[in-house]
Amino acid sequence: MLKRKEYEKELRKLQTELCSLQDWVKATGERIIVIFEGRDAAGKGGTIRALTERVSPRTFRMVALPAPSDREKSQIYMQRYVAHFPAAGEIVIFDRSWYNRAGVEHVMGFCTREQHRRFLEMCPVFEKNIIVDNGIRLVKYWLEVGNKEQKRRFEARIEDRLRQWKLSDMDLPSRERWYDYSRARDKMLAATDTDFAPWHIVRSDDKKRARLNVLSHFLSLIPYEQPKRDKIKLPTREKKGAYDDEATIKDRRWIEGKY
């Protein structure tokens, strides 16, 4: 098990590089999509937090869409995702994506067999013609957690009040239908693991190592350089118009300092 001090040291190094990547993306107008998929309780949320917690949410934009509305169900399947695609100088991170159709929708019967088959057939065409050929970089990660570790994480969520919010209506059925999800994963990878948009598989039984490995791998995929930055100098506060600006709010409603 990776010790916390060592983990935090390596994480800081990688997050510093992500800040350089952020500057490069803004300077060059690059557009990047990062997809996180995987088994339930595989650690997608923690990995996304590690990727985004030290950068600007205006550059690294996270998208986690709820279940589609009745109106969205009547649209072309990919339509509601395309609306969130990046503009110049943006990285969009999908916490779950159009691949819902290849996983939970297929396994739980939320789409027909024909819709699932059609998705697997059309998805590579969509990714090549709409995303990659339009100059958007597409990075896809699948986080794979083992059977025993998934069981342990679910049990921790059930027992710990601070983690119970992580339990969704789909989590417990996903535990029961482990092999159905495995077969859905295998079909998805067979159909959509392409040279122009490959899947990168991450072993995530050890969350800390998985986060570091994803950040390191992501940085290795992008040919970024640190743009030159002007030296920053903090300006001196003007004295013109000075007054006692603390006294004017002294009797306002301050919260009680309990800590």
Over residues 139-158, the pLDDT tens digits come to 999 999 999 999 999 888 88
How many angstroms from the chain centroid is the CA of residue 228?
28
Residue 254 lies in a domain: no
What pLDDT, on the 0 to 100 scale, is given for residue 8?
Answer: 97
Cα 83 to Cα 77, 78, 80, 101, 194, distances in angstroms: 12, 9, 6, 18, 24
What percentage of the chain carries pLDDT values higher than 70? Answer: 100
**Model pTM?**
0.91
Mean pLDDT computed over 236-251: 94
Residue 256 lies in a domain: no
Backbone angles phi, psi at 199, to 5 degrees: -90, 135
Residue 258 lies in a domain: no
Q: Which residue has the tokens 């985004």?
A: 52
Directed axis angle between helix 207-221 and helix 44-52, to 10°?
A: 50
- The residue range of the domain holding 192 is 4-249
Mean pLDDT computed over 159-172: 78
Residue 255 lies in a domain: no
Residue 259 lies in a domain: no
Q: Which of 85, 89, 86, 87 is nearest to 25 (CA)?
A: 89
What pLDDT, on the 0 to 100 scale, is given for residue 163?
Answer: 80
User: In CATH, what number is assigned to the domain containing residue 112?
Assistant: 3.40.50.300
CA 75 to CA 246: how far, in whole Å?
Answer: 56
Element (H, E) at 29: none
Q: Which residue has the tokens 């600007």?
A: 56
Which of the four pLDDT bands, split at 50, 70 and 90, describes residue 2?
A: confident
Residue 257 lies in a domain: no
**Helix runs in 37-177, H state only:** 44-52, 70-73, 79-82, 104-107, 113-126, 147-159, 171-176
The total number of structural domains that make up the chain: 1
β 90-95/31-38 pair status? parallel
